[in-house]
Amino acid sequence: MLLLPLLVAAAAPLALPAAQPVGSATLARDAETRWVPFELTPGNQLRFTMTVDGRPATAILDTGVSYSVLSRRFAERAALKVRPGGNATAIGGVVDIGWTPTATIAMGGLTRRGGGLTVATLPAIATGSADAVDLLVGRDLTGGFALDIDYAGRRFRLLPSGRLPFRGFTAPLSISRDRLVYVSEITLGAARLRPMVVDTGDGSSVTVTAGGWANARLPGIPTTTAISFGLAGAVTSTIGIVPTLRLGELTARNVEIRVEPAGGFSDSIEAAGRIGSGFLQNYRVLLDPTAGRMILSPVPHADQPPVRSTSGLLVGVARDRLKVLHVMQGGPAQAAGWKEGDMICAIDGQTIPADYPASPLASWSAGTPGRTVTLRMCDGTERKLTLRDFY
């Protein structure tokens, strides 16, 4: 199943199963020239190819993960020895983890010799793509260097800490002592929220706790609901769009905010929330925790309002059909009686193509308010849905 842009995925901090050797990571002398190309998945995640013990592996760059995670499927295929490691907290619940030693890991100008990887099941639905990836690249591989992410150019590279390859707005950045992930802070309304996990593996924009949202005191923001998927399952959140948000020197405008329910994942790891790739992709980003800074250089139209659903349906693609994964609160679909699990086989007479997420047809769910869309259900019946603004 493939997630559409309005439905984002989210990875989570994971802990090393036990005290294990961490290996030695070095940068090549020409690391500055060794850009790693990536594709931005429908879940707003950075997907690329690297090598593990000489074998090609598909990976997602995930600064919200403390120790890089290898999929059990890859470990089994490569006949790697996996030691049991107990379990770890992830978005959606708890996942079983293990650990496997590795000889070499390489991406761009970085090579790590020795050490190993956490091992867990990596379902496709949690990584924003039709196909599951082999690896989540976390803080243990990138945290000692400056990470330069050129979202517009769809490429990233690792540089020695202290390098400043471009100018932009500066915000604080460090590695948290407890969770060992990238963290910063934001000002939202009346609230200063910290620590905020800087999480390139989270496809959403900015997520905050229910308490943080209440402390921000932002009356009059229309909200609805949305669903996201983590390694351990689905989470429903409240979403709204705030006029401004401050991140260090940067004032960002028209920012989508997700509000987790009380006692949610951020509360469980004692964080104020997450800054995800849905937000970061509006900038060229330098993450350099050793130097204590994050640099953000806006891309054109960085402050444009985000795409909003006008249908109230969040759907996933299952071959030649769309499955309703969530009906947004207060939207036209909820008013018309749509339910989770409803299956759509055609939109205005067009069947669902294999490349649906990249096709113009996929824009219907955030189309012009007032437009009426005819949806043929997979049971042969037809429904009409009139689009409108609702948050």
- Percentage of the chain lying above the pLDDT 90 cut: 80
Domain(s) of CATH 2.30.42.10: residues in the chain = 313-386
Could you tell me which CATH number the domain at 169-298 has?
2.40.70.10
Q: Measuring CA to CA, which residue among 49, 66, 56 is closest to residue 141? A: 66
Measure the CA–CA gap between 119 and 168, rounded to whole angstroms.
37
Question: pLDDT tens, 338-351?
Answer: 999 999 999 999 99
Mean of pLDDT values over 117-129: 80
Spatial CB neighbours of 352, under 8 Å, sequence gap ≥ 6: 317, 320, 321, 322, 344, 345, 346, 361
Q: Check pLDDT > 60 for residue 1.
A: no
Mean of pLDDT values over 63-72: 93
Domain(s) of CATH 2.40.70.10: residues in the chain = 2-159, 169-298
Could you tell me which CATH number the domain at 2-159 has?
2.40.70.10
What does the mean pLDDT of the chain come to? 91
Question: pLDDT tens, 81-97?
Answer: 999 877 776 666 678 89
**Structure tokens that stand for 143 in this block:** 């945290």
Q: How confident is the model at residue 234 (pLDDT cuts 50, 70, 90)?
A: confident
pLDDT at residue number 11: 42
Q: Measuring CA to CA, which residue among 43, 67, 37, 194 is closest to residue 142? A: 67
What fold characterizes domain 313-386?
Pdz3 Domain (2.30.42)
Query: Whole-prediction pTM value?
Result: 0.91
Q: How confident is the model at residue 127 (pLDDT cuts 50, 70, 90)?
A: low
Measure the CA–CA gap between 101 and 249, rounded to whole angstroms.
42
Question: pLDDT tens, 35-44?
Answer: 999 999 878 8
Range name among 5-14, 22-31, 65-74 with the lowest pLDDT average: 5-14
pLDDT at residue number 319: 83
